[in-house]
Amino acid sequence: MPIPTAHVDVAVPVPLRQTFTYAVPPELAGALLPGQRVAVPFGRRKLAGFVLGPVLEPPQGTRIKAVLGLLGHDPVFDSELLGFLLEAARYYLHPIGEVLRAAAPAMPREAVEALRRSGRLGAQETFKGGQLRTRSILYVSLVASDGNLRGARQRALMTLLSERNELSIDELRRHIKDPRGVVRALEGKGLVRTEIREVPENPFFASPVALEEGPTPNEEQQIAIDAILSRLGPTASRAPVGASFLLQGVTGSGKTEVYLRVIARARELGLSALLLVPEIALTPQLVARFRARFGDDIAILHSELGERARDDAWRSLRQGRARIAIGARSALFAPVQRLGVVIVDEEHDGSFKQEDGFRYHARDMALLRAHRAGAVCVLGSATPSLESVTLAHHNRLTHLHLRARATRQALPEVEVVDLSRHRNGPTGHRLLSGPLFVALRTCLEEGGQAILFLNRRGFSPALRCETCGEIQECPACSVSLTGHRKMRLLRCHYCDFSRPTDTPCGACGRRPLLELGLGTEQLEAMLHEAFPAARVARLDRDTASGRGVEAVLERVRNGQLDVLVGTQMVTKGHDLPNVTLVGVVLADQSLAFPDFRASERTFQLLSQVAGRAGRGERPGRVILQTYQPTQPAVAHARTHDFEGFCDQEMAERRAHRYPPFARLAALRVDATSDQAARRAIGALAAVAERHPEVREGRVDVLGPAPAPIARLRARYRHRLLLRSADRVALRRVARTLVTHMDGGIGPARASIDMDPVNML
């Protein structure tokens, strides 16, 4: 509805936690809508802001500038999405202008040029965005049934349409020879209707995918499907009832089939769906399964897509032409119309948390968006986060279980190898122990495939000078440089600083440097030497990204690789049915992180990578190498005992008052000098200590202290943690500190992170 007042509230993308009042010029009177993008003057600049609503009482005693013009006729955000983003900005104490800019699609090029021009944009100079890069597709839909058809192809086509109601001609061509002639005949009888539509092009849709009905759900799957559907709107005219579920299913239990069945029913009711995945690497595999079930009525959203492809997907959702959105974290902001289902796959994964700028958690915000839209929300995982388990215990989530694999294949046998009791293996390296070497040799002799997981890329994680003993550190970060032998570089994995490997020691100027530890590059080379006939490949961020990840995984599925060496990229959600052996080279590596979630993350990681084994017809085997075989994360992963680990870890968290038994807010300060950073964080700590909620004991102040990585990108880092079981009290203290930060803290920079995930 157009805004009738003479003044509007506009969110401007600047790091200020406030909105601004602008006058509506005569040529735009009655033309502005909430969610529209407009050009506004801001100081000496011209910026693209977002209209939030009317201002009934404009501020007095100040000159109010006027809106320069529209940068798009239609609102960028509808009322549902705009309201959600406003609430998210309030929760995370982040400037609303920056939140809306992060959620909005890119501006059309003409609008960007218009911003650069001086003067006011007339009402006629509105911009609707560039042209979609599309292709024309003929769609066929069912009008009426006829059981007296004689032709086999006509009967086959009508059977397909009775199951799906509508299909593209490309999809029909996969099942019926020359479907156009059959369609014309049926159209002449009034049984089908055809329509040509323009569909956005996208690299994910380059190859055809055969349609499939999918397997019949087993008993556990059907119970979960029925429970979720019971809270979905029963008719297309009625909004969904809305509810939230935690779907906990062991690896290979068929959680994706549950998602597909729920979304299929939502589509029958005229509703749309949003699916979030933690890694881009999972997207191609999921997209193929969704296309096989729903055709090309899907929009893909993630950062690896080009700007044009992202814009095409965004507008196809905004215009209601696509009713399923799939993507990584930022797909949370997709403009899905009539949202009925929100699914977060692998909900425990830390990558759902945005670690800079607008620091939202996509899992938590998915629950909020579904609640506001009256939609069903499903959080799925084999190893749920303790936060989600706690919500289920408190009946805030309905807990559903899939306890067996969909194939009825047993979970893999897990063997723990105590590295402290084993000498160097046959390769001469302790981290390729005798038991793992023998298991790998047996796997290859039997024609199986293997995955070796080591969460450390490069050839050697650190290098020491043989003369003075100095570890070679990054000059800008307080971390060691990693050796990359093929690239002949020492590289920092935080700031990307690099120098040639033959550079002298930074401390004494001598050579040579001694390589320490084991990385995936060295492990790959070791396997090539030990098993020269085996086809070995490596999957980490040094070798593949984006669609390159899927290319490597496709070689595994096609039997073109025998052994895949990789980092976390090999652990998440991939269905590789011929993998019979998984080896975790150093299972306790992540336990050393200075983070109260280290044990939980280790258990999740071990369970996820173990789940890659034995997903096909042949049983799987997992070998965990560790120096800490009795550590709870390792011990419970050996027996696939999530409940046992959860109970033990919950007791630890409760004793130390860490989430989920309390909430945290992290304040981080960085500066070019350690003194400036210390002074700034000390001032914030003093403000916190004076707050009544702290003085009366409702909120704890932990710190200040240097961050675990004390220097990053040549800036010194310090932090302060607020902790409380009372969310309201915690937010009162956090808001006071944000106000102090906004007033300036000298040369330092400060940020706040509500519900932090990364403690480094």
Q: Which of 412-416, 429-433, 484-488, 511-515 has the highest mean pLDDT?
A: 412-416
Fold of the CATH domain 7-116: GIY-YIG endonuclease (3.40.1440)
pLDDT for res 426 = 87
pLDDT for res 55 = 92
Mean pLDDT of 515-536: 92
Give percent above pLDDT 70 in the chain.
Answer: 92
* Element counts in the chain: helices (H) and strands (E): 21, 30
pLDDT at 20 over 90: yes
pLDDT for res 427 = 85
CA distance 606 to 583: 10
pLDDT band at 236 (very low <50, low <70, confident <90, very high): very low
Q: Which CATH number fits domain 413-458+519-650: 3.40.50.2300, 3.40.30.10, 3.40.50.720, 3.40.50.300?
A: 3.40.50.300
Q: Which of 80-84, 385-389, 495-499, 715-719 has the lowest mean pLDDT?
A: 495-499
Mean pLDDT of 174-199: 83
For domain 134-200, say whether CATH 1.10.10 is its number. Answer: yes
Of 97, 109, 92, 100, the closest CA to residue 76 belongs to: 100
Taking CA atoms, 20 is separated from 9, 413, 450, 466, in Å, by 6, 61, 59, 61
Top pLDDT among 108 and 371 is at: 371
Strand order from edge to edge, sheet including 563-566: 413-418, 621-626, 579-584, 449-453, 563-566, 536-539
pLDDT for res 239 = 47
Asked if 201 and 133 touch (Cβ cutoff 8 Å), the reply is yes
Q: Which CATH number fits domain 663-754: 3.40.50.300, 3.30.70.600, 3.40.640.10, 3.40.50.1110?
A: 3.30.70.600
Mean pLDDT of 462-484: 92
Tokens 């049983």, located at residue: 619
Top pLDDT among 450 and 163 is at: 450
pLDDT band at 207 (very low <50, low <70, confident <90, very high): low
Q: Which of 181-195, 225-239, 743-757 has the lowest mean pLDDT?
A: 225-239
pLDDT at 305 over 90: no
Mean pLDDT of 653-668: 97
Q: Which of 33-42, 192-201, 340-349, 466-475 has the lowest mean pLDDT?
A: 192-201
Q: Where are the domains of the chain?
A: 7-116, 134-200, 219-402, 413-458+519-650, 663-754
pLDDT band at 165 (very low <50, low <70, confident <90, very high): low
pLDDT band at 701 (very low <50, low <70, confident <90, very high): very high
Q: Which of 236-250, 329-343, 386-400 has the lowest mean pLDDT?
A: 236-250
pLDDT at 681 over 60: yes
pLDDT for res 372 = 94
pLDDT for res 115 = 73
**Do the domains 413-458+519-650 and 219-402 match in fold?**
yes
pLDDT for res 131 = 47
Top pLDDT among 543 and 290 is at: 290
Task: Give the contacts of 616 (CB within 8 A, at least 6 positions apart).
Answer: 407, 409, 577, 578, 579
Q: What is the pLDDT of residues 71-96, one digit of tens each?
A: 888 899 999 999 999 999 999 999 99
Q: What is the pLDDT of residues 712-734, one digit of tens each?
A: 999 999 999 999 999 999 999 99
Six token digits for residue 263: 């979304």
pLDDT for res 282 = 58
pLDDT at 235 over 50: no
Range list of β-strands (E), 173-261: 192-200, 243-249
512 prior amide bond cis, ω within 30: yes
Mean pLDDT of 165-174: 75
Torsion angles phi and psi, residue 47, rounded to 5: -125, 160
CA distance 295 to 316: 15
For the entire predicted model, the pTM comes to 0.87
- Kindly give the pairing relationship between strand 45-54 and strand 37-42: antiparallel
pLDDT for res 344 = 98
Mean pLDDT of 530-555: 81
Superfamily of domain 219-402, CATH level 4:
P-loop containing nucleotide triphosphate hydrolases (3.40.50.300)
pLDDT for res 428 = 84
CA distance 673 to 654: 37
pLDDT for res 222 = 97
Start-end of H helices in 25-127: 79-91, 96-103, 109-116
CA distance 246 to 386: 12
CA distance 277 to 429: 37
Q: What is the DSSP string of 329-383?
A: GGGGG---SSEEEEEEETTT-GGGB--SSS--BHHHHHHHHHHHHT-EEEEEESS
Top pLDDT among 261 and 213 is at: 261
Mean pLDDT of 659-671: 97
Task: Give the contacts of 353 (CB within 8 A, at least 6 positions apart).
Answer: 359, 360, 361, 362, 756, 757, 758
CA distance 449 to 534: 10
Average pLDDT, the chain: 88
pLDDT for res 433 = 92
pLDDT for res 241 = 59
Torsion angles phi and psi, residue 643, rounded to 5: -60, -40
pLDDT for res 203 = 57
pLDDT at 549 over 80: no
Q: What is the pLDDT of residues 626-650, one digit of tens each?
A: 999 999 999 999 999 999 999 999 9
480 forms beta bridges with 473
DSSP state, residue 503: S
